Amino acid sequence: MEGLAKIEDLGKPRVVIVGGGFGGLELAKALRHAPVQVVLIDKQNYHTFQPLLYQVATAGLEVDAVVSPFRKILDEQENLFFRLAEVQRIDAERQVVETSIGLVRYDYLVLATGATTNYFGDAEMERNAIAMKSVMDAIELRNTVLSNFEKALQLGDEVQLNSLLDFVIVGGGPTGVEIAGALSELRKHIFPKDYRELDFRQMDIHLIQSGDLLLKGMSAEASRKSLEYLERFGVQVHLNKRVKSYDGYTVTLNTGETLVTRTLIWAAGVAGAPVDGLPPECLRKGGRYAVDEFNRVKGHPHIFAIGDIAAMESTEYPEGHPMLAQPAMQQGRLLAHNLERLLAGQAPQPFRYDDKGSLATIGRNHAVADIKLLGKDLKTQGFLAWIIWMFVHLMSLISFRNRLFVFLNWTWSYFTFDKGRRYIIGPTREPVPVEATTEKAIV
């Protein structure tokens, strides 16, 4: 679509931000008092708090708790204009981005498009697996788990039944570990009550990790303990194994082993989600833009990239920073500062990542934490780590309202052992057709 999108021109330098994830949103907010016009473009009208998506997927939280509409977050920011649109191409020559609502002119362009699920080119896997990157992914997983059990009630054949009751999670990073843990909690506290007619000793949860460690980026203690907790909760952890193929029914591992499941959750990799239009030499491995220490895309002084989509190569991080919320937010904040400096004719300041540590929860009372506290490294696992995990996540939520409601939800679930969002609304992954075992005669 040619033609200019209808956005008032404030007569100030215009900063166009593509993507309202952790990095883009932080940047937009930090530009609040800057002498610029900010145009934030996203294909959704809400910010997603991805670290808690797995709780939506496992019926612990409602969608509401993990999304915040951009217009609500930013409605008092007068220099900001939000547009719901898809960005199709960057035209660096003309300084415009081509979008689904027309051309948008920029003085400075910031790419904050984040990451997308990486199937490493396996189209069959992409078709059959469920990912865990978006709200729709989370809803789909929740609906699919619940539908599986409803269908399982009609099955007599043992193998067919197991294919519906068993789950295979690929990827031993935080998402994989957290989903495996949450499913094991549902198996223990919820499903046997909901589905008295099914025998949940038949429900297997497999977690497959290509390397020999879970939570690879974390400390050795965290890796070891997360494995111990998962095994205690009855999750079957397969280390040093890879999935070779999955046809929607049979999972084949590189060892020749096979598992049967209708639900494979793919948490094994993400890749940058670059936009068309910049020359290929701007891109690094994994679809990330090569940026300098000011987050400038190499060769394009007016184009920046922050967060997952940016690979700022340094001696400490030769392949760029980890694809997490913290680097994205810190880059967003610094870039706001640097844009103000640039406009004032001052030199920008280089980015230094302040790694505050990592956390992952395995289940009720069980988490692992590697954090910095008062300048010291603290490595802890178990109940204290779980309390820290909850506190950090609550404090990171966007609004006070979300914090309050998530806190109340968690408190409620903790004392009642309940996870109440067990309804099937919206998309469900239809499995490869199952032949229901029905008896011939009417008894």
Of 36, 97, 110, 146, the one binding a copy of itself (CB under 8 A) is: 146
Q: CB under 8 A: which stretch of 6-14, 168-176, 292-300, 317-325 binds a copy of itself?
A: 6-14
433 binds a copy of itself (CB under 8 A): no
Q: Residue 3, interface with a copy of itself (CB under 8 A)? A: yes
Q: In the numeric block, which tokens belong to residue 170?
A: 């690929």
CA–CA gap between residue 165 and residue 399 (Å, rounded): 37
Which residue in the set 86, 194, 247, 257 belongs to the binding site for a copy of itself (CB under 8 A)? 194
Is residue 417 at the binding interface for a copy of itself, with CB under 8 A as the rule?
A: no
By C-beta, is 62 or 221 nearer to a copy of itself? 62
Binding of a copy of itself by 69 (CB under 8 A): yes
Catalytic residue among 178, 221, 257, 316: 178
Stretch that binds a copy of itself, among 28-36, 108-116, 150-158, 345-353 (CB under 8 A): 150-158
- C-alpha–C-alpha distance, residues 138 and 28, integer Å: 26
Long-range own/partner contacts, residues 289-295 (CB < 8 A, 24 or more apart): 289/111, 293/350, 293/351, 294/335, 294/338, 294/348, 294/349, 294/350, 294/351, 295/331, 295/334, 295/335, 295/338, 295/351
- Judged by beta carbon, residue 72 or residue 356, the one nearer a copy of itself is 72
- CA dist 76 and 71 (Å) reads 9
Residue 214 CB contacts under 8 Å (≥ 6 apart), including other chains: 172, 173, 177, 207, 223, 226, 227, 230, 237, 239
* Binding mask of the shown chain, residues 45 to 64, with x at each position contacting a copy of itself by CB under 8 A: xx---------------xxx
Consecutive H or E run containing 325: helix 325-343
Which token pair is 142?
Answer: 């929740």
| Closer by beta carbon to a copy of itself, 346 or else 416 | 416
Distance CA 340, CA 190 (A): 53
Closest to 111 in 3D by CA, of 45, 48, 50, 40: 40
SS (H, E, C) 390-402: HHHHHHHCCCHHH
Kindly tell me which of 216 and 422 has the beta carbon lying closer to a copy of itself. 422
Looking at the Cβ atoms of 75 and 124, the one nearer to a copy of itself is 75
Stretch that binds a copy of itself, among 43-51, 229-237, 265-273, 373-381 (CB under 8 A): 43-51
108 binds a copy of itself (CB under 8 A): no
Q: How far is the CB of 89 from a copy of itself (least distance, A)?
A: 15
89 near a copy of itself, judged by CB under 8 A: no
- Taking CB under 8 A as the rule, does residue 418 contact a copy of itself? yes
Q: Angle of helix 400-416 relative to helix 383-396, nearest 10 degrees?
A: 150
Question: Torsion-angle region of residue 153: left (phi > 0), alpha (psi -120 to 50) or beta?
Answer: alpha
| Residue whose tokens read 């049967």 | 260
178 is catalytic: yes
**Residue 364, H or E segment:** none
Among 33, 72, 201, 352, contact with a copy of itself (rule: CB under 8 A)? 72
Q: Tell whether residue 81 is a contact of a copy of itself (CB under 8 A).
A: yes
Could you say whether residue 426 binds a copy of itself (CB under 8 A)?
yes
Q: How far apart are CA 21 and CA 308, in angstroms?
A: 10
Enumerate the active-site residues: 178
Contacting residues toward a copy of itself, per CB under 8 A: 1-6, 8-9, 44-46, 62-64, 67-69, 71-72, 75-76, 78, 81, 83-84, 94, 96, 101-103, 105, 135-136, 139, 146-147, 150, 153-156, 193-197, 399, 401, 404-405, 408, 412, 418, 420-426, 436-443
